[in-house]
Structure 1
Amino acid sequence: MEAMSKTRQGNSILKNRNFLLLFIGSVFSAPGYYIYLIAAEWLMLTLSENRVYFGMLFFAASVPRLLLLAVGGVVADRFNKRTILFLSDLLRALLIATLLLFLYLDVVTAWHLIILATLFGIADAFSYPVTNSMTPLLLKEDQLQRGNSLIQMTMQISPILGPALGGTLIAVLGFQGVFSVACVMLLIGSLTVLFIQLKQGNEGKRDHSPWTELKEGLAYVRQSEFIMAIMFIAFFINFFFSGPFSIGMPIIVKDVFEGSAINLATIQTAMGVGAMVGAILLAVKKITNYKKVILFSLLVVGCLYTFTGISSHLYISAILVLIMAALLQFVNIPIFTILQKTVDKSMLGRIMGLLVTVSTGLIPVSYVVTSTLIALGVDIRYIMIGGGIFIVIIAIISFKFKRLRTLGM
């Protein structure tokens, strides 16, 4: 009977027209975004042998994202979320179209890619809070974990289809072909979002200034021990993981494994497959002890990350990345589900914006530190090993963190 109930609930979610449109939009926009990313990364590696430029590509996208995420959260609470998501995807499509023009004119440089990455970061700052705060407006509370898992599955199609298609298209059609596909997919995703119908809320009818609302969001966070604890963990985990992994894996594939764009796609596809597997498991299995699941997953991720730095074989690295990605879903989805259940819906945009701001706060620094260490001659594999060790330490310490006791609900 329980299995039949879960099946009916899953079907009812997919029969929800607005949620289905969000689902379909993600199926197009997320892979299109990742097709662009892998193509931009490989184009940067092709344009310049200076790996500092490669690190700057990530830094340029992360800085405006960090600075504007809190603003994006306020905007998400004040204006129509559907319109914001549409404009964000449309802007990405137009930016890729601009890059295509540069390619056709044969004038593209490393600095063009860095500037476009900056503009992508601005678009991200407004789309992230909306995406994470829209689901509870479309679904009932008891559907949120399953709904979040389904949305994550569509988001994780991006690291599967995106790198796979991107690497293949680079080899078959060249950079012009791969960027054309990415542009079209983002355009379709943006148009799909326009058909979502949201109930009229308080958008555009606020009595307070945006600055006052931002301070209200900060006060709300300070009053929640759970949110403060999650921000503490995410703040440091992202520093030790995001920079070394994002910059390191493409460099390892090209310089250590002496691989191609398709080999890089293999690693990134493995990450997508793992993330999707984790999301599927959470779609069919309800979590009862959030603290143990989240912190144990972090502990194992730290260990696997260390082994990834040690690995000298492409496919072993791909397997390690796959398992890490699956376990990271057991951290992210429960956190978002708890927040969506407990946070006032009128505050969701701001809280999600602030959470992502704090959790990604050290990522630009991580990119700079990683790039600097590489420029000084430090092997990227040693940087990743060190990052994995620190993640293990943070996970162990967090098991005794009193503010996480509320995760046992």
Structure 2
Amino acid sequence: MVEVAPVSKWQLFRNRNFRLIFISMLFSAPGYYVYLMGAEWLMLSITDNRFYFGMLFFAASVPRLLFIVIGGITADRFSKKIILLLSDGSRAVLVGIVIGLLLMDILQPWHLLVLSALFGVSDAFSYPAAGSLLPEVLKPENLQQGNAMVQMTNMISPILGPAIGGSLIVLGGFSAVFTLAIVMLCAATVSISLLRIISQDEEIAEVKKSPLEDVKAGFHYVKHNPLIRTIMTVSFFINFFLTGPVSLSVALLAKDVFQTNALGLTILEGALGIGSLIAALSLVLLKNLKSPGHTVIFSLIIMSAFFILYGSALHFWSSAAAIFVIGICLQFTNIPISTMLQQTTDRRMIGRVMSIMALASTGLIPVSYMVTSALLGIGISIQVLCITGGILVMITGILCLRNKQLTAFNSYNKVEQQEML
């Protein structure tokens, strides 16, 4: 178990382990986005077939889906610190391979697809480990602020990553972009290596169950928790309707619709990141949301409305403004969902629950990417796909207003229950 320090919401950085996790994320997430920026623009540069661009996302999502439950079991059975070390370290190696292929001038689209798939495998193990680490570091009443601070590092990534990546593409080429990504991922690895881990006998005994028993226990736990089951079901459908168009639209709008250069891509991704950062900062400063379920639902509805505007916008700057609001709504959806899960889940099950959550929320992402790529391939514009996705998400949000599991959730009561355990 990770050493826990008693902290208030204004003293999170006095907790050494939380501070190291925050520093690690401050390098790891932007480092990944620097790489992703380079990989996206490189794929668009070496081939005119936009199907390959869509497959870049699909290739990462399939292994993530296949291995995510194994990643959750691993997080509950083994050291989360070691898992995160291996994850960041392996990503640095993969980026190094891209540099080698570039220097030998033999890089092909399929190379980027294979490397994207390996990134997906790494994600499958790092996501449950990172998601289950924070509840062991912080008290339940600090989780909203802690999640928001960690999300701030993720939201800085679409700002710093594309800004630095786009500038380096112009000034130093793709090799400079990928070299910086390696440096940042190595810095994250060093920070994680400094975490202090304390083992406890009862947790060692817990991991002696067989992997199959662990899987069954995880699904049984989720099955008999109505709130977790509801969140996963909602996330499952939202990701199918929205993820493909969102992920592919930014670069395609910048290059194909508005015909900008890498700077245009930087501005659009930066607008999304700035909006998300503002929302995360707001949740750091706010007290725990009394009704996070209502916050999630109304954020979904507002986000879908602006996604429709984003897809139908005729001018670059109106699309940038719309995606800025989308970024705000994304965090007022994601952070309360993560906090609700962490506040209601037994710590012995947190790795498996986070992995099953990822499975539910990303379960249809490969299909979403494939369908989006196929529709783009037959000539349907990304703007039409964005508008359609926005309408479907809005319907989902409106239907959630009748879901008592979400609307009745009270975070204060859950915190009090956790403190009594």
SS at match of 1:407: coil
CA apart distance, 1:130 = 0.9
Compared CA separation, residues 56 and 203, structure 1 to 2 (3 A): farther
User: 2 CA distance for matches of 1:332 and 1:225?
Assistant: 19
TM-score by length of 1: 0.96
Contact 1:166 1:178 in 2 (8 A): yes
Q: Which amino acid is the alignment partner of residue 293 of structure 2?
A: K
User: 1 CA distance for matches of 2:197 and 2:273?
Assistant: 30
> Which aligned runs of 4 or more in structure 1 are off by greater than 3 angstroms?
none
User: 2 CA distance for matches of 1:13 and 1:63?
Assistant: 36
Contact 2:64 2:124 in 1 (8 A): yes
Contact 2:76 2:207 in 1 (8 A): no
The residue that corresponds to 1:360 in the other structure is 362
CA apart distance, 1:64 = 0.3
The residue that corresponds to 2:143 in the other structure is 144
Q: Give the unaligned 5+ runs of structure 1.
A: 1-7
Compared CA separation, residues 203 and 366, structure 1 to 2 (3 A): farther
User: 2 CA distance for matches of 1:233 and 1:136?
Assistant: 23
CA apart distance, 1:365 = 0.3
TM-score by length of 2: 0.93
The residue that corresponds to 2:395 in the other structure is 393
The residue that corresponds to 2:154 in the other structure is 155
Contact 1:88 1:124 in 2 (8 A): yes
SS at match of 1:404: helix
The residue that corresponds to 2:233 in the other structure is 232
CA apart distance, 1:157 = 1.2
Bigger drift between 351-360 and 265-274 goes to 265-274
% of aligned pairs identical?
44
User: 2 CA distance for matches of 1:163 and 1:17?
Assistant: 30
Paired residues for 1:182-331 under 5 Å: 182-201=181-200, 202=203, 206-286=207-287, 287-331=289-333
Q: Which amino acid is the alignment partner of residue 155 of structure 2?
A: Q
Q: Which amino acid is the alignment partner of residue 342 of structure 1?
A: T
Contact 2:293 2:336 in 1 (8 A): no
Q: Which amino acid is the alignment partner of residue 383 of structure 2?
A: R
Contact 2:294 2:407 in 1 (8 A): no
Contact 2:75 2:83 in 1 (8 A): yes
Compared CA separation, residues 216 and 107, structure 1 to 2 (3 A): same
SS at match of 1:49: coil
User: 1 CA distance for matches of 2:174 and 2:361?
Assistant: 33
Contact 2:291 2:408 in 1 (8 A): no
Q: Which amino acid is the alignment partner of residue 330 of structure 1?
A: F
- Cα deviation, 1:137-183, whole Å, max 9, x if unaligned, reads 11122211111111111121111111111111111110000000001
Contact 1:238 1:360 in 2 (8 A): yes
The residue that corresponds to 1:374 in the other structure is 376
User: 2 CA distance for matches of 1:83 and 1:54?
Assistant: 33
User: Are residues 1:122 and 2:121 paired?
Assistant: yes
User: 1 CA distance for matches of 2:398 and 2:93?
Assistant: 45
Q: Which amino acid is the alignment partner of residue 331 of structure 2?
A: Q
Q: CA RMSD in A?
A: 1.3
CA apart distance, 1:211 = 1.3
User: 1 CA distance for matches of 2:196 and 2:83?
Assistant: 13
Bigger drift between 396-405 and 22-31 goes to 396-405
Paired residues for 1:75-94 under 5 Å: 75-94=74-93
Contact 1:137 1:198 in 2 (8 A): no
Contact 1:78 1:204 in 2 (8 A): no
- Cα deviation, 1:327-352, whole Å, max 9, x if unaligned, reads 11111111111211111101000000
User: 1 CA distance for matches of 2:204 and 2:45?
Assistant: 45
Contact 2:311 2:384 in 1 (8 A): yes
The residue that corresponds to 1:17 in the other structure is 16
CA apart distance, 1:408 = 4.5
The residue that corresponds to 2:416 in the other structure is none
